[in-house]
Structure 1
Amino acid sequence: MTRRQFLATMGIAPVMRGIDLAGPPYTYSVKGQIAVSALGTALIHEHVLVDFIGADSISPNRWNHGEVIGKVLPYLLEIKSRGIQTLVECTPAFIGRDVVLLKKLSERSGLHILTNTGYYGASDNKYLPKWAFTETAEQLASRWTVEFEEGIEGTGIRPGFIKTGVNSGRLSELHQKLVKAAALTHLKTGLTICSHTGPALPAREEIGILVRSGVHPSAFVWVHAGGSAEELENVGRSGCWISLDGVNTDNIGKHVEWITFLKSKGRLGQVLISHDAGWYRPGEPDGGEFRGFTTISDKLVPALKEQGFTEADIRILMVANPAKAFAIRVRRD
């Protein structure tokens, strides 16, 4: 298969506005460079371990790899048995990102696992390191770019995307800086920007910063996209990714409604789905209550098929769209 033929199977038009298709379609998992065609069926927003103690107190000494693996590995093998091949692990630095742990889990489970660079400003900045308050966007971008070019914390493991986060209202000056830093990092590395956002208001402001920085909105994943179906579609007109990543057993109907509406508006090719589940919690007995990653396979996909979604539609959601979204390439506006 030629590269042009592969891009066609992924639904990537060679003339798509703002997309630089000069580079090969690849990304990085915790085990190294991987063609996006090998990602297969993917869950694009999940967590293995999250530590909410705060940036000032967090330490990898707060958890034991063997204990975490004992708790988490069965859940990874469970989704592998359902045909999931890739897990995008969205825990940022200073909230429990542990790339060595992720590599061990990838090796034991046989799943591709992607990790990230970037800082998370949501939750009123509790998880930001002290220098995030004083350094410029350029300085922060330099830190994140070094992680991409040299590997994370001396491990040689490279991030497959940028993860940041903002509060749900209008963007503060600090959060504007984080988004600007993400834009600069994207222009240097081609990494996709996944930003914990929520409502449409901050999403629009983030997209505005990216565009003014020369980054096309197709480099932006609107994480926890929320609001009415009409708001989702309206913001989606920018070309950004609409990430419906809070799927659980209580909201299947809502997600079917949203995805059906977006398909009717021609935006199925911009939708990403996941659970935002998992979460081994250091400090809690046995890591606390862990929510598995099977609701999409067991509940949402069958519900979509009942509404007339085809296997091809499901492949767009879970194979083609993740491959497009996480391919490393600079997307200029």
Structure 2
Amino acid sequence: MKMEVANFEPSASTFSRRQFVAACAGLPFLTNFSFEAPFTNSVNGKINTADLGKTLIHEHVLVDFIGADKISPNRWNHDEVIKKVLPYLLEIKKRGFQSIVECTPAYIGRDVALLTKLSEKSGLNLLTNTGYYGASDNKYLPAFAFTETAEQLSKRWIAEFENGIDGTSIKPGFIKTGVNGGPLSEIHQKLIHAAALTHLKTGLTICSHTGPALPAEQELEILKANGVSPTAFVWVHANGSNEEFVKLGKKGCWISLDGISDENVEKNAELILFLKSQNLLKQVLISHDAGWFRPGEPNGGDFRGYTTIPDKLLPLLKSKGFSYEEIKQLIVTNPANAFAIKIRKI
């Protein structure tokens, strides 16, 4: 059973962006301000978050687990990857999705040239990232990440935001980092500190592969100490007790349920219902953490598609009483809010 939730239309009373700006222009206390609509960066350039549409917030196209000391883009061929991946992207586009947040970090297979080709061929908006990934016991951290300071690391990430990634004009739409599941090590504390500094300079949202509530709470403490709002933090692979979900959710962070598969649809639906009952639905993000082409494996290895959410989860939520607006909240409104880079110029 499939559920169609595309083509959301505003009510007749909704202001257009042009009407809003025109209205504000007549207010004397706002004449010294200029407004820019919330935006993010896709691999094809700047995009208003209002135009992201139905969005999957945590997916992968290609991931290479060989390690930061051995990885090279020569390990994969773009044409082979495109042949494997493109049908899966077209499959989700047919279901009305318009955007995918591609979460593969540097030194694990981030390839912005490949993503640009796939975006052009699929017609989907694809977002890429800056940042480094410390989970899996630092296997995917470059050697300099161990010796440089948080300030030095953040300068690297800020440079990608300001100048582009890998010599291109492509800019990141978010920060992706990762930590182990236990108490934060010294180097993982440094990664979160660097992410905080980068956010303060760029406005990019921080998505941290985290898992349990303990490291997530410690990450929030580091962000708070650096003046970063919890609303700029996505608790990736969020898991824990109901009490832990509520405790961290009430702090204001995004709760990312991004491992949704055919096997755990019912479990995730019940968790989403619980979070709704705690008035936390506006902070919930959902995705599959699916894909991906694996360099070194025959034909890129097994690939898991991105269709469980539209084909199974959303119809299940609807059967459990979710309204059209609540479905829209999960797959349109929340992603747009979570990944917006809001700038106010004076």
Within 2, Cα distance between the matches of 1:330 and 1:33? 13
Residue 257 of structure 1: aligned partner: 270
Q: Structure 1, unaligned stretches of length 5 or more?
A: 7-20
Which letter maps to 1:195?
S
1:22, distance to aligned residue in structure 2 (A): 6.1
Within 2, Cα distance between the matches of 1:101 and 1:185? 25
Q: Say whether residues 1:100 and 2:113 are aligned partners.
A: yes
Which runs of at least 4 in structure 1 moved beyond 3 Å after TM superposition? 1-6
Q: Say whether residues 1:90 and 2:90 are aligned partners.
A: no
Within 2, Cα distance between the matches of 1:55 and 1:48? 18
Which letter maps to 1:327?
A
1:329, distance to aligned residue in structure 2 (A): 3.0
Within 1, Cα distance between the matches of 2:67 and 2:19? 47
1:151, distance to aligned residue in structure 2 (A): 0.2
Identity %: 70
Q: Deviation digits for residues 284-323 of structure 1, max 9, x if unmatched? A: 0000000000000001001101110011100000000000
Within 2, Cα distance between the matches of 1:282 and 1:78? 23
1:202, distance to aligned residue in structure 2 (A): 0.2
Residue 185 of structure 2: aligned partner: 172
Residue 306 of structure 1: aligned partner: 319
Tell me which of 19, 24, 37 is aligned to 2:37: 24
Residue 17 of structure 1: aligned partner: none
Counterparts of residues 182-261 of structure 1 (less than 5 Å):
182-261=195-274
Within 2, Cα distance between the matches of 1:31 and 1:305? 34
Q: How many residues are aligned here?
A: 317
Q: Say whether residues 1:64 and 2:77 are aligned partners.
A: yes
Within 1, Cα distance between the matches of 2:186 and 2:89? 39
- SS of equivalent residue, structure 1 residue 27: strand
Within 1, Cα distance between the matches of 2:163 and 2:338? 23
- Is the 8 Å Cα contact of residues 189 and 329 (structure 1) preserved in structure 2? no
Q: Structure 2, unaligned stretches of length 5 or more?
A: 1-14, 21-33
1:75, distance to aligned residue in structure 2 (A): 0.1
Tell me the TM-score normalized by structure 2. Answer: 0.90
Q: Deviation digits for residues 194-237 of structure 1, max 9, x if unmatched? A: 00000000000000000000000000000000012332121111
Residue 110 of structure 1: aligned partner: 123
Q: Deviation digits for residues 230-255 of structure 1, max 9, x if unmatched? A: 32121111100000000001111111
1:24, distance to aligned residue in structure 2 (A): 2.7
- Is the 8 Å Cα contact of residues 270 and 321 (structure 1) preserved in structure 2? yes
1:2, distance to aligned residue in structure 2 (A): 4.2
- Is the 8 Å Cα contact of residues 38 and 343 (structure 2) preserved in structure 1? no
Q: Say whether residues 1:270 and 2:266 are aligned partners.
A: no
1:55, distance to aligned residue in structure 2 (A): 0.1
- Is the 8 Å Cα contact of residues 93 and 118 (structure 1) preserved in structure 2? yes
Within 2, Cα distance between the matches of 1:239 and 1:322? 15
Within 2, Cα distance between the matches of 1:311 and 1:81? 19
Structural RMSD (CA): 1.5
Which letter maps to 1:112?
N
CA 1:206–1:3 in 2, change beyond 3 Å: closer, same or farther? farther
1:126, distance to aligned residue in structure 2 (A): 0.2
Within 2, Cα distance between the matches of 1:216 and 1:3? 26
Which letter maps to 1:239?
G
CA 1:4–1:260 in 2, change beyond 3 Å: closer, same or farther? farther
Within 1, Cα distance between the matches of 2:320 and 2:19? 30
Q: Say whether residues 1:142 and 2:155 are aligned partners.
A: yes
1:135, distance to aligned residue in structure 2 (A): 0.3
Tell me the TM-score normalized by structure 1. Answer: 0.93
- Is the 8 Å Cα contact of residues 105 and 176 (structure 2) preserved in structure 1? yes
Q: Say whether residues 1:283 and 2:296 are aligned partners.
A: yes
CA 1:61–1:235 in 2, change beyond 3 Å: closer, same or farther? same
Q: Deviation digits for residues 140-186 of structure 1, max 9, x if unmatched? A: 00000000000001111000000000000000010000000000000
- Is the 8 Å Cα contact of residues 189 and 330 (structure 1) preserved in structure 2? no
1:67, distance to aligned residue in structure 2 (A): 0.2
Within 2, Cα distance between the matches of 1:330 and 1:218? 15
Within 2, Cα distance between the matches of 1:313 and 1:228? 23
